[in-house]
Every structure is written in structure tokens, then in C-alpha cells.
Chain A
Amino acid sequence: MDFGVTRETFGALSPLLVLVGGGILVLLAGAFASLSSRALAALTLVVQGGAVISVLFYAPRFYGDYLRGAFLLDPYGCFGALLRLAVAAATTVLSVRTVEDLSMKAEYFSLLLFAAAGGTAMLWTRDLLIIFLGLETLTIASFILAGYFRADRASTEGSLKFFLNGAFAAALLLYGIALLFGATGSTRIPEIAKLLPAAQSPQWLLLWLGGTFVVVGLLFKMAVVPFHAWSPDVYQGAPTPVAGFLSVGSKAAAALVLLRFLTETFPEGDRWHTPLWILAVATMLYGNLCAIPQMQLKRMLAYSSIAHAGYLLVGILALGELTREAVLVYTVAYGFMNLGAFAAVLAFERVQPGGIRDASLENLRGAGYRAPFLGAVLALFMFSLAGIPPTVGFVAKYYLFAAALKEGFVGLVVLAVVATAVSLYFYLRVVVYLYMHEPEGGEEAPSLAPGLAVTLGVCALGTLAFGVFPSRLLEWAAWAVWG
């Protein structure tokens, strides 16, 4: 049987092959040689670097459909894949010390690679089944990663909650795909879209029901209210690098897939406006309001990340020409600032005298003076998350709001602005603890691990540089949408 496999197929899918092959390699390396976590991380980085190079320089020669339409290579997918890989690479660097004392180091890094492969695959296709497979590859790897501290009850509990909710979401998604297949005889987005306008009444019901289930499945991954319940526990319990990985990488990938699904399947997506409008508002307000009383940094960031899913949803539901670019810009901005924030939390966890796993606000008292670099970058990330210029968070929010206003969503934008005003309180409170309380102990800050320092530096630089000079970032986003 002819699957349409040609030499080009291998070229086009080279990043995926590199990631999967590399994952297996790391796994074997761990099995046959007892490598340090540093060596494993280096190996993982090499694999990720290879994948990045092939996405950047090799794969673009092969834009088009592969394996009879199962895979699709386009700038949009490449953009998402690069974001995904960058997050994965940063996570790898951050994880070195976290997994140092664990017994299954190699498995951890190979899971990161598999998760990245899954995340890339779902962006690299217009076939709902491939999306499902990619998503599940990503999620199952994430379940394990979230529960990696097996001895820790919070970690295990989070992982279990994640698993139960994730299984439910997966079932919904699959059910939705089945309905769409039942209605149209295809799982390919373009073919479904072609059949949609001609659909008769019973078929029509199947289509919309199926579409709804698919959307809901993706909203689960984005942790949009009311499908968010898993995320605070998971973020709090998971190893901090994994929490950052989940909050940025998985959310962004799901958002980008949702955007593609909605724009390409239902080009006149008016029917989605009202329900998604309500969800977006609920998500923004709920996330921001619930973040206010949190005293644990990671939990606060979890709720903040729910709120940011709401902002992303504003762009996704507006479905305008500009909103697509705005969403991409937002994911990148969010990647820099939120990953940076998690990295800073990780650093503070290590700075704690007793190695307390959860950095709480109380522990940050006066830390801005004890650890000037760490304090400054964390404050920068907080200002950026709150959307205050001149940071990339402001540029992203501005673009998103402008694009949504252009589509006429005045009320939605005003509510988003109100939610943003609410969010100031808890983002600023971190800064209050960093600088406005006096340090309790006089101890010096231990030096940061080089990998951690580099990650923080890159995130801070991105947050600031793209905040002051966003043109290049906007160009990339426009390229990704329009090719």
C-alpha cells in the first residue's frame, strides 16, 4: 500500500524524527551508562538543538502536505515548533539540578524530548487524529513528569489529578473527532471545512457537537475556566521546571492548535463567539481573582497562568486577521516572562536555607537586596505579566487588545482591561515582598547555577528587548501567519 512516503517526507518530518530518535538515544544512554544529569542534559540539548536547526534551516525547504495530508509543514507550524523547542530546551537546562538526586534521570530527559515531539506533531498537521496523537504523546509524558517527585505527596496528588482530568479531556477530544468523522467521513480539517457549509440538519448537529467537543478538549489543555481545576495542584506539586514547561509550552501549543482548528474549520466562526466570550471573561476574572490570596508563588503563578489563557482566548475567539498574529506574539511574550518567572521561583527555592520546595512570598522578604540579580529579574517578569510598559507583556497585551477592538469586541476588551487591573495587585505584591520589606536574615545569596543564570538572563533580555523594540517579533508573527 502506498502511503506516499518519499525522501521529502523524511526531510519534512526531520525535526520529529530527530526528537523521537534522540529521546530513544537518551533513554539508552541512561540504561547502559550511568551518566550524570549534567551529561544527560547536554545530550538532550544537543538533540533539541538538532531539531531547532532542522526546523529553521532544513524543514522549510519542504513546506507542504505529507503522508497523504496527514502532516502539513507551514510557517505557522514551524513558529509553534520553535517556541515549543525553546521552552523544552530551557526546561532541560533548568532541570539539571532538580533531577540530580533522582534515580531515573535519563527517563526524565527522554520524556522531555517525547513531549516536545508530541507538541510539535500537533502543530504540524491538519489531521485531527494526528493532533490527538500528538496531544496524547505530550500529555502522557507530562503526567509522568508532573509526578516525578514520587516521594512527595503533593507531586503525586497533582499528577493523579492531572491524569484523571487529562484522560477525561482526551476522551472528549476523541469523541468529538469521532463525531466529526461520522458527519463528514474525514478527520482532515480542510475536508471538514469543505463539507460544513453544505451540511444538512442532522449532519449539522453532529458537526457542531463534534466541533464543540474538540474545542473543549483543547480548552482543557489550556486550563480555561471551567476546565482549569487541575492546574493549580499540578503546578504546585510538579517539579518547578516541569511546571514552567506545562504552563508555557503545553498551553501555547494547545492555544495554537485551537486557533488553527477554529480559523480553518469554521472560517465564519460567529457561533463560537458567545460561548467563548463567556469563557474568556470567566477565565480572566477567575484566574486573576483567585491569584490574589495565594501566598505560594507557584500557586499564584498557576492562577495567573489561568488568567493568561483567558487573554489568549480573547485573541482566539476574535478570529480576525490581526488577532492570529497577536495570539502568536502573545504566546512568545508569555513564554519569555512566565518561563522566566518559574525559573526565578526555582532559583529562590534553591536559595532558601532549608531547601524549602515551595517558595512562598514570606520567604521573599527583602530578597531583592540579598539577591539583586534574581530580585530584579523576578520584578521585571512580574511587571511584564501585569502588562506594564516597556516590557514585552505590554506589547503583547496591546496588540491583542487592539486586534480584538478592531474586530469590534469593545466590551470584551474593557473586561480584559478590568481583569488586568485586578491582576496588578498580586503581581505587584511579589515586588512588595522583594523590595519593600526588609530582609530578615543577613545571609548572602548563594551563587546561581550557570544554566539557571543563563536562562534567567535570556528570559529577562527577551522580556525587555522585545518590549522596547518589538518590531522583529511582530515581523516573525506576521511571517508565521502569512508565510
Chain B
Amino acid sequence: MMGISWLIFLPVAAAVVLLFVPRSWSRVLWGAALLATLIVLALAIVLYVRFDADDAGLQFVEHALWIPQFGVAYHVGLDGLSLLLVMLTALLGPVVVLASWGTIKKHEKEFVLSLLVLQGAMMGVFTAWDLFLFYVFWEAVLIPMYFLIGVWGSSRRIYATIKFFIFTMAGSLLMLVAIISLYLQCGSFDFDHIFSSLPEAALPLRNQLWLFAAFFLAFAIKVPLFPLHTWLPDAHTEAPMAGSVILAGVLLKMGTYGIARLALPLFPHAAQVLFPLIAALSIVGIIYGAMVAMVQTDIKRLVAYSSVSHLGFVVLGLIALNAQGLEGGFLQMVNHGLSTGALFMVVGFLYQRTHSRLIADHGGLASTMPVFSVIFGIVMLSSIGLPGLNGFVGEFLILLGAFRHNPWWGALAATGMVLSACYMLWVYKRVVWGVPRGKAVEVSDLTAREIVSFLPIVVFIVWIGVFPGTFLSKIRASSHAYLSRIEMALQDSESNEAAVTASAAPHWEPKKEE
């Protein structure tokens, strides 16, 4: 049975095997990594094709007891919400391997191992259906990423990697406390069980708020939501190209995925209370990220800040809690992964040629690197949401959802789109147009390997832009079920709230077992 476990453990197993390959066999190392990630991609495509779009439930479920004493099971599965992110993770795997092949000069073996383990762990995050399992994968992602930034990054890499690790881990640890509390409430880690039993547990709002805050904080750090974003520009700037691509492409999506998968449906009422705050932070993030991006002199930092802006959109779409917002949010996660991932590859390839990331050092690349300039143009336009490319569909749906929820949200967020067009077009103009100058004079165009690594991304940028229905149809059933579940929970809690406030909110204590 070619199931989800293969997606998770095939890359890990490949890493274990490669552990015993001598470090001088670099071709074997890279070739094997490419092969493993390609197999994962093929498996993911098989799953995607076999995925039943009309079934809102979990598919391809695998279930096994893991730690019976803790009530923990190895429970994985796919639903519409996970599907696109799993596909994105699978797609970026071979892309990243191909893009890095030959550019990593030191410790190639460790690099390849880190990439593979990272991919397996990320697959685990998006498919886990057990809270404990989810947490284990969530944390396991940190370790290879920590090495990717810390070993292969640029000069301030150690500062950046420790900051990255401590920021995200501090959030996760509080989430761990919340997870344990939730377990003590519900007596199970299983998502199904938690979702179904939590409304009955009917926590007082005060406790819901605490638990929601703990979950949301962990996810918001990962997203990163303003003002928790400060680790991101550092991590991105210092990370090697592959690290940046995965960080922007997939890792940040773990945060938005977590918000959608856990924080909102577990504590809808608490979320609703905090919506104004979250929306405000998202909108500030959208505008602030864009404005800070505009004044960057370093292209990589510019892209990093643009991520802060774009992910504000995603969060806004998710908390709009309507079909458009949710679908737009999920589609935009993928879009951002593709566009920003590709932008980081653009920056990476440029840096390999000129050893500079400063905008001022470049100019007139259109004449020296025509292919590069075309690809850069496509991903740049996709990032600012040009109709016909992927970014437009996602942002449009999100804005629609936001407008429907609260016109102010939509109006304010829309300014972010304008701003993003400003900084992106401006940077493109300065780097690509004009007379070649500075280090851009004597550079060579992209190699075949580099073009191939861009190819799948460009294909999907256009595909999603022109036929978004191909992808949206797969998540529609799940998102409808999801929204109706949250709405029901909200109605329940509204009717409960009256009762709870009337009985003077009893002090919540962890439930003791008999």
C-alpha cells in the first residue's frame, strides 16, 4: 500500500541510507536525494489523483497504536485542507535539490541529509491526525532547518539560527502545555475525538482564551504574524538558498495551517473574541511588511519582508471564516510557496553569479541574462497578483472573503496589493532594466539545471492562475464541512455562554481521573 507513511518516511529512510555513503561520493548523494524526492512527488501525485474531492472526511487513513500509555496513536490521513500543502511540499522537494546541486561547496552530505529529513518531517506535520504526533513532527522540523541555516548560511548565520530556533521553540513549548491541558480535558489526542468532544466539554471562555492564545502564539510565530516576525528577515537573509525556499515555501505554511487546522476549530468562540485583534495584526503586517520591503537595499530581505505582508493576507482570509476566505487562504498558501520560493531561487542564482544581494550592485540584467529576467518577471508578477497568474486568484478570494466578513478588513488589506506592486515592480526595474552595470555586466545566463528547477514552479504558477478550479475543487468539500462545523460550534457556545455567565463561571480545574 503506497500511502501517506511513504511520503513521511521515504525521505527519512533515504537519509538514513545516505548516512553510510562516503562523503566524497557527492554525485551519488545528490542523485539519490533527487531520486527520493522525485519518488515522493510521484507518490503525492498518485494520492492527489486518487483523492476523492467529494469526500469531506479524512482519506488514506493509517492508524496504529504508538504510545498506548499516553493514548497516542500514529494516525495520519489527508483531507482537502492538507492536500494542497502536501502537494506543495512534494513539489518543492526535487526543485530544491536540483537548485542546490553543485552550489553547496561544504559538507554536502550533511546538507542532503538535512533536506531529506526536513521534507519527511514537514509531510508529517501536514498529515498528522493526532495532536501528539503533530507536535513531534512540528518540533522535528526545527532540527534540520536549524542546521540548514546555521551551517550553510552566510556571515550572521549563527545569530539567525539561534534566534529562529528559540523564537519558534518558545512558542511551541507553550503550545505543548495547551496540548496537555486539552488532552486532560478530552482524554484523547485524536483530532476527531477532540473536535467532537470539545463542544461538550464546554470550557469557560476564560480558559478557552488561554488555550487558544497558547496555540495561536505558536502558530503566529511560525507564520510569522506582526509583531512576532522579527526572526524571519534574519533567518531568510542568512539561510542558504534551499533553506530560504523551504522556509518561505513550506515552513511558514505550518503556522497558517496550524491556525486553520487547530486554533480556529478547537476554540472558535475564543477566536471570535480575538478576531479584531488578529485582523488588526494581520492588516498591520500586510501594510508594514510591504512598506518595510519597499525600503530594503538587499533583495533577499525585500523578499523576506514581502512574505510578512503576504502571509498577513493568508491569516486574514482564514479568520474571515467564510468559504471564499478559507479557500483563498489555502490557495494563497500554495501560491506564496511557489512565488516566494521561486523569488528566493532568483535571488540565490543571482547571488551565485555576482556575490551580492544588493539592489544597487545590479542593473540591466535583461541584456546579459534574458532567460533569468523572463523567469524573474513571471514570478514577480505572480507575487503581486497579476490576473492570469496564481497570486491573483488567491488574493482575490481572500479580499472577497474579508470584505464579506467586514468591509474595513477588505479595504485596508487591499492597499497591501497596491504596495506590493510598487516594491516588486520597482525592484524589478532597478535590477533588470537599464544599461548593464556593476556586477551585472559579465554574468552568464541560467544553466539548463537551473531552468529545469524553475520549470515546475512556472507551470503551476500559470496553471493555478488560469484553471484555479482544478485545485479549488479538491478542497471545496472539506472546507465546507470545516466551516459548518465551526459555525455549529459557535452557535453552541453562544447558547452555552449565557448559561455559563449566569452560573458565575466556575473556576476551571484539570479533570481528575477516577
Contacts and interface: CB of A to CB of B under 8 A. Distances in A.
Nearest to A419: B173
Nearest to B106: A438
Nearest to A407: B510
Interface in A422-471: 424-425, 428-429, 431-432, 435-436, 438, 469-471
B136 A390 contact: yes
A470 B174 CA distance: 23
Nearest to B137: A389
A435 B136 CA distance: 24
B58 interface: no
Nearest to B136: A389
Query: Which of A389, A418, A435, A475 gathers the greatest number of chain B CB atoms within 10 Å?
Result: A389
Given A435-B147, A436-B150, A474-B67, A405 B510 contact: yes
B510 A406 contact: yes
Contacts of B169: 388, 421, 424
Interface stretch (B156-164, B224-232, B381-389, B460-468): B156-164
B140 A389 contact: yes
Given A388-B142, A436-B151, A475-B69, A420 B180 contact: no
Contacts of B183: 402
B184 A428 contact: no
A432 B158 contact: yes
Interface in A323-337: none
Contact of A436 (B67, B136, B161): B161
Given A402-B180, A435-B147, A435-B150, A471 B68 contact: yes
B146 A428 contact: yes
B174 A414 contact: yes
A340 to B, nearest CB: 17
A173 to B, nearest CB: 34
Interface string B139-155: 11011001100110000
A417 interface: yes
A394 B110 CA distance: 24
A413 interface: yes
Contact of B170 (A389, A410, A421, A438): A421
A478 interface: yes
Query: Which of B69, B174, B512 gathers the greatest number of chain A CB atoms within 10 Å?
Result: B69
A383 interface: yes
A413 to B, nearest CB: 6
A271 B67 CA distance: 35
A62 interface: no
B177 interface: yes
Contact of B510 (A408, A418, A435): A408
Nearest to B69: A474
B184 to A, nearest CB: 6
A388 B162 CA distance: 15
A208 interface: no
Contact of B162 (A383, A432, A438, A471): A432
B172 to A, nearest CB: 9
B181 A405 contact: yes
A401 interface: yes
Given A405-B181, A413-B177, A388 B151 contact: no
Interface in B293-333: none
A425 B139 contact: no
Given A394-B139, A478-B69, A401 B107 contact: no
A398 interface: yes
A417 B173 contact: yes
Contacts of B512: 406
A405 B180 contact: yes
A421 to B, nearest CB: 4
B347 interface: no
Given A394-B139, A435-B151, A421 B166 contact: yes
A466 to B, nearest CB: 11
A425 B510 contact: no
Interface string B470-514: 000000000000000000000000000000000000000110110
B135 interface: yes
Interface in B100-134: 106-107, 110
A417 B174 contact: yes
B140 A390 contact: yes
Contacts of B69: 471, 474-475, 478
A424 B42 CA distance: 38
A213 B413 CA distance: 64
Given A394-B139, A417-B174, A421-B173, A401 B158 contact: no
A388 to B, nearest CB: 6
B177 A408 contact: no
Nearest to A376: B19
B184 A405 contact: yes
B165 interface: yes
B292 interface: no
Interface in A290-328: none
A413 B177 CA distance: 8
Contacts of B142: 388
B165 A406 contact: no
Contacts of A425: 162, 166
Contacts of B106: 438
Contacts of A420: 173
A175 interface: no
Nearest to B183: A402
Contacts of B181: 405, 410
Contacts of B165: 424, 428
Interface in A97-151: none
B177 A405 contact: yes
A388 B173 contact: no
Nearest to A414: B177
B375 interface: no
A224 B146 CA distance: 32
Given A389-B136, A478-B69, A432 B174 contact: no
Contact of A369 (B68, B107, B157, B177): B107
A401 B158 CA distance: 30
A95 B333 CA distance: 56
Contact of A417 (B146, B161, B176, B510): B176
Nearest to B135: A389
A394 B140 CA distance: 11
A469 B166 CA distance: 26
Given A402-B180, A421-B166, A474-B67, 18 more contacts: A389-B139, A390-B140, A401-B180, A402-B70, A405-B177, A405-B184, A406-B513, A413-B180, A414-B174, A417-B173, A417-B174, A424-B165, A425-B162, A428-B166, A429-B162, A432-B150, A435-B110, A471-B68
10 contacts: A388-B142, A401-B177, A402-B184, A410-B177, A410-B510, A413-B180, A414-B174, A425-B166, A469-B67, A471-B66
Interface of A: 369, 383, 388-390, 394, 398-399, 401-402, 405-408, 410, 413-414, 417-418, 420-421, 424-425, 428-429, 431-432, 435-436, 438, 469-471, 474-475, 478
Interface of B: 66-70, 106-107, 110, 135-136, 139-140, 142-143, 146-147, 150-151, 157-158, 161-162, 165-166, 169-170, 173-174, 176-177, 180-181, 183-184, 509-510, 512-513
Closest 9 pairs (CB-CB, A-B): A421-B170, A389-B136, A474-B69, A436-B150, A417-B173, A402-B180, A389-B139, A405-B180, A436-B151
